């Protein structure tokens, strides 16, 4: 008999089904536009904000399948931002698990604004044990200051 608890600890992504999906929507406000950060730019939904929505949507598609104490972090983003979206529109991201192996999960992801598809691409997330990841990240925190002050 398979020990699924042991198996999920050894391979924290073994329970993720191919085709797992998530959908997440957000209203475009001025704070999510390029103009919020650069006044001379247009008041349209910013690419970094669209990518963030895509990443969060992908994360939500698999979080419930990960072993306890595990999360996923973004590793690769291959995205096209295809059309501008003004303030007031609702943008909706839809993600779908395409495949995974022992180290990463690959998604397709699209964003629509109610009129047209405004973004599409693929995203790769890597599952990590949160406590180990946080420990590793805390050991790196002193590094950039040392580099900047040299």
Burial of 11 (0-12, 13-18, 19+ CB in 10 A): middle
Tell me 141's DSSP state: T
Contact 73, 130 (CB under 8 A): no
Domains by residue range for the chain, with CATH:
4-148 (3.10.129.10)
- How far apart CA 139 and CA 118 sit, in angstroms, is 39
Who contacts 54 (Cβ-Cβ below 8 Å, separation ≥6)? Answer: 77, 79, 93, 95, 109, 111, 119, 121, 123
Q: List the chain pLDDT tens, one digit each, 150 residues.
A: 434 444 445 677 789 999 999 999 999 999 999 999 999 999 999 999 999 999 999 999 999 999 999 999 999 999 999 999 999 999 999 999 999 998 999 999 999 999 999 999 999 999 999 999 888 888 776 555 544 444
Q: pLDDT tens digits, residue range 22-58?
A: 999 999 999 999 999 999 999 999 999 999 999 999 9
């Amino acid at each position: 008999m398979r020990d699924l608890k042991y198996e999920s600890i050894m391979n924290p992504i073994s329970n993720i089904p191919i085709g797992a999906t998530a959908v997440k929507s957000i209203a475009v406000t001025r704070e999510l536009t390029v103009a919020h950060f650069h006044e001379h730019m247009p008041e349209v939904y910013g690419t970094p904000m669209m990518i963030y929505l895509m990443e969060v949507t992908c994360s939500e598609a698999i979080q419930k399948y990960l072993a306890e104490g595990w999360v996923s972090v973004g590793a690769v983003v291959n995205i096209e931002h295809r059309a501008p979206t003004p303030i007031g529109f609702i943008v909706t991201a839809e993600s779908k698990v395409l495949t995974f192996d022992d180290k990463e999960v690959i998604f397709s992801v699209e964003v629509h604004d109610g009129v047209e598809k405004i973004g599409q691409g693929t995203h790769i997330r890597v599952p990590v044990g949160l406590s180990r990841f946080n420990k590793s990240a805390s050991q790196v925190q002193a590094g950039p200051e040392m580099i900047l002050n040299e």
